[in-house]
Structure 1
Amino acid sequence: MVLAEKWPILLRHEQAAEWLQVWSDLGRAPRTIDAYARGLTEYLTMCERAAVDPASAKRAHVAAYVRELTERPSRRGANVVVLDSGAGLSNATIQQRLVPVRLYYDFLIEDGVRESNPVGRGRYTPRRKLAGHERGLVSRVKKLPWIPTEDEWLRLLEAALGEPIRNRLMLALAYDAALRREELCSLRTDDIDPAHRTLRIRAETTKSRKERIVPYSASTGVLLSLYLAWRSSITRARGPLFLSESRRNFGQPLSIWSWSKIVRRIALAADVPRFSTHTTRHLCLTDLARMGWELHAIAALAGHANPETTMIYIHLSGRDLAKKLNAGMKHIHSWRLDKLAALPPGEAKELER
Structure 2
Amino acid sequence: MDDIPVPLPANPTRFMDRFRAFIRARHLAYRTEKTYCFWVREFIRFHDKRHPESMGSTEVSQWLSHLANNRNVAVNTQKTALNALVFMYHQFLDKELGELQFTKTSRGRKLPTVFTHDEAISVLANMKGTHRLISGLMYGSGLRVMEAARLRVQDVEFSEPCLFVRETKGDKWRRTILPSSVCEVLKTQIEFALALHQQDLQDGFGEVYLPNALSKKYPGAARSPGWQYVFPAHRLAIDPRSGVRRRHHIGEQQVRRAVKAATSAAGIRKKASCHTFRHSFATDLLRRGTDIRSIQELMGHNDIGTTQIYTHVVGTHERGISSPLDTPTGFSL
Q: TM-score, normalised by structure 1?
A: 0.67
**In structure 2, what is the Cα distance between the partners aligned to 1:109 and 1:118?**
17
Residue type of the alignment partner of 1:329: L
Higher relative contact order (CA 8 A, sep 6+): 2
Show CA shifts across 1:279-314 (max 9, x none). Answer: 111101111111111222222222222222222223
**In structure 2, what is the Cα distance between the partners aligned to 1:110 and 1:251?**
39
Show CA shifts across 1:202-254 (max 9, x none). Answer: 2xx12353433323222111321343454455345721100224798996421
Equivalent residues in 2 for 1:55-204, closer than 5 Å? 55-56=54-55, 59=58, 62-63=61-62, 67=66, 92-106=76-90, 110-111=94-95, 116-118=98-100, 137-139=104-106, 141-149=108-116, 152-160=119-127, 163-164=128-129, 166-202=130-166
Residue type of the alignment partner of 1:243: P
Which residue of 2 is the match for residue 209 of structure 1?
171
Which residue of 2 is the match for residue 323 of structure 1?
320
Residue type of the alignment partner of 1:46: F
Residue type of the alignment partner of 2:80: Q
Q: Which stretch shifts more, 205-214 or 305-314? A: 205-214
Which residue of 1 is the match for residue 185 of structure 2?
223
**In structure 2, what is the Cα distance between the partners aligned to 1:210 and 1:92?**
20
Residue identity (%)? 21
Which residue of 1 is the match for residue 232 of structure 2?
243
Which residues of structure 1 form unaligned runs of 5+?
Answer: 73-84, 121-135, 340-353
Count of residues in Structure 1 that have an aligned counterpart in Structure 2: 291
Residue type of the alignment partner of 1:45: R
Which residue of 1 is the match for residue 288 of structure 2?
291
Q: Which of 307, 312, 325 is 2:309 aligned to?
A: 312
**In structure 1, what is the Cα distance between the partners aligned to 2:172 and 2:236?**
36
Residues 52, 36 of structure 1: CA spacing in aligned structure 2 closer, same or farther, 3 A cutoff?
closer
Residues 40, 119 of structure 1: CA spacing in aligned structure 2 closer, same or farther, 3 A cutoff?
farther
**In structure 1, what is the Cα distance between the partners aligned to 2:92 and 2:231?**
44
**In structure 2, what is the Cα distance between the partners aligned to 1:257 and 1:4?**
24
Residues 207, 335 of structure 1: CA spacing in aligned structure 2 closer, same or farther, 3 A cutoff?
same
Aligned partners of 1:267 and 1:274 also within 8 Å:
no
Shift of the alpha carbon at 1:185? 1.5
Residues 199, 3 of structure 1: CA spacing in aligned structure 2 closer, same or farther, 3 A cutoff?
closer
Residue type of the alignment partner of 1:55: S
Report the 3-state secondary structure (helix = DSSP H, G, I; strand = E; otherwise coil) of the residue aligned with 1:213: strand
Which one has the largest radius of gyration? 1
Residue type of the alignment partner of 1:101: L
Shift of the alpha carbon at 1:187? 1.1
Residue type of the alignment partner of 1:189: V
Residues 188, 99 of structure 1: CA spacing in aligned structure 2 closer, same or farther, 3 A cutoff?
same
Report the 3-state secondary structure (helix = DSSP H, G, I; strand = E; otherwise coil) of the residue aligned with 1:254: coil
Residues 103, 226 of structure 1: CA spacing in aligned structure 2 closer, same or farther, 3 A cutoff?
closer
Residues 322, 119 of structure 1: CA spacing in aligned structure 2 closer, same or farther, 3 A cutoff?
same
Which residues of structure 2 form unaligned runs of 5+?
Answer: 1-5, 199-223, 239-245
Q: TM-score, normalised by structure 2?
A: 0.70
Which residue of 2 is the match for residue 38 of structure 1?
38
Residues 246, 156 of structure 1: CA spacing in aligned structure 2 closer, same or farther, 3 A cutoff?
farther
Q: Which of 274, 279, 284 is 1:282 aligned to?
A: 279
**In structure 1, what is the Cα distance between the partners aligned to 2:34 and 2:117?**
37
Which residue of 2 is the match for residue 26 of structure 1?
26
Residue type of the alignment partner of 2:44: L
Residues 105, 321 of structure 1: CA spacing in aligned structure 2 closer, same or farther, 3 A cutoff?
farther
Report the 3-state secondary structure (helix = DSSP H, G, I; strand = E; otherwise coil) of the residue aligned with 2:32: helix
Which residue of 1 is the match for residue 263 of structure 2?
267
Q: Does 1:335 align with 2:331?
A: yes
Shift of the alpha carbon at 1:277? 1.8
Shift of the alpha carbon at 1:70? 6.8
Aligned partners of 2:117 and 2:284 also within 8 Å:
no
Residue type of the alignment partner of 1:42: E
Which residue of 1 is the match for residue 214 of structure 2?
none
Shift of the alpha carbon at 1:316? 2.2
Aligned partners of 2:53 and 2:93 also within 8 Å:
no
Shift of the alpha carbon at 1:184? 1.3
